[in-house]
Structure 1
Amino acid sequence: MGTLMRRAWVPVVVVVAAIAGTVAVVNLRGAFGSAEIFRWDGSGSEVIESINEKQVRYEVFGPGAASGAVSYLNQDTQAEQADFTGLPWSHTMSTTSPSVIANLVAQGDGDQIGCRITVNGAVKDEQLSTGHHAQVFCLVKGA
């Protein structure tokens, strides 16, 4: 019995101290009238709509009779492809994403082709390429 008391007194003191501390905190909170600690009414869980809408416009320009293909990233950063049978070609997308990666690659059957990416009307990248079946590439990393 003596060895049991020598070994058990520390855990008993810890448990008694924890209980006494809990009772003291509960009584002090009641005495000072503080609000509940954990209370959820659902008001903070609504979706916050972004007010920063961006208009991203892809443009391909060159000789009017040119035909070819264009690949670009949509607002979900997924690759899309389109064919054109005359220039200029354009595609506009709207997004409220905080940052947009805009990428455009175009190739035509003419000797000159250009691309332009504008964000909210401001030109962010513009490239021009010449040569047989010219290919052009425009990139905006963070619009």
Structure 2
Amino acid sequence: MKSAWVYGVVFLVLGLTAMFIARLRLSEIQDLAIGHSSRPPVVGRPIEKVVEYEIDGPSGLPVRLSYLDEQGNAKDVSTDLPWRTSLRTHKLTLATGVVAQSEADQVSCRIVINGQARDSQTSSGRFAAVNCAVPVS
């Protein structure tokens, strides 16, 4: 019992120290030494991106093409010229690309992003093939 007061004083000092440190850490002091930093900037929702793929050539001729969808997966299509599709995404970055080959003497591809043509290629000759690609950020 004689030394019980020593334990009481030690617990009291430790408790007061813990309360002081907690008060400092929860205060609005902008001091990196005690674990505070400025708040990160608020990031809103990314703007919507509209990606349009276009394959043109003599109307009605067959074309085989592959394009990257909004998930980055390749989609294979067999159809007739001309061909168009569009994708909508809110992703920050997106790889886009389209490859096409046709029996036509001339075929062209174009990628339009938010109404602005970003890549356009034309190929001519027997079994013409084109490739358009644009990294979107």
Structure 1: 5+ residue runs without aligned partners? 1-18, 37-47
In 2: Cα distance, 1:141 partner to 1:131 partner: 28
Residue 74 of structure 2 is matched in structure 1 by: 79
The corresponding residue for 1:59 is 54
Cα gap change, 1:121/1:28 in structure 2, threshold over 3 Å: closer, same or farther? same
Q: In structure 1, what residue type is equivalent to 2:99? A: V
Cα distance, 1:20–1:79 mapped onto 2, change above 3 Å: farther
Match of 1:25 in 2: 17
Picking from 84, 99, 104, the partner of 1:105 is 99
TM-score by length of 1: 0.68
5+ residue gaps in structure 2?
1-10, 28-42
Larger CA Rg, structure 1 vs 2? 1
Aligned in 2, Cα 1:22/1:108: closer, same or farther, shift over 3 Å?
Answer: farther
Measured in 2, the distance between the counterparts of 1:106 and 1:126 equals 13
Distance 1:56 1:24, change over 3 A: same
**Which structure has more helix as a fraction of its residues?**
1
- Say which structure is richer in strand: 2
Cα 1:120–1:20, aligned 2, differ >3 Å: closer, same or farther? Answer: same
User: In the TM superposition, what are the counterparts of 1:4-19 in structure 2 within 5 Å?
Assistant: none
CA separation in 2, counterparts of 1:105 and 1:34?
57
Distance in 2 (CA, whole Å) between partners of 1:119 and 1:26 is 57
The two structures, once aligned, show a CA RMSD in angstroms of 2.6
Structure 2 distance, partners of 1:98, 1:119, is: 14
Give aligned pairs, total.
Answer: 112
**Residue 68 of structure 1: how far off its partner (Å):** 1.4
Q: Name the aligned partner's letter for residue 55 of structure 1.
A: V
Residue type matched to 1:127 in 2? Q
1:35 shift after superposition: 4.3
Closer, same or farther: CA 106–122 of 1 in aligned 2, 3 Å: same
Spell out, residue by residue over 1:76-108, the C-alpha distance to the aligned partner (whole angstroms, 9 max, x if none).
0001011112x2200101000001110100011
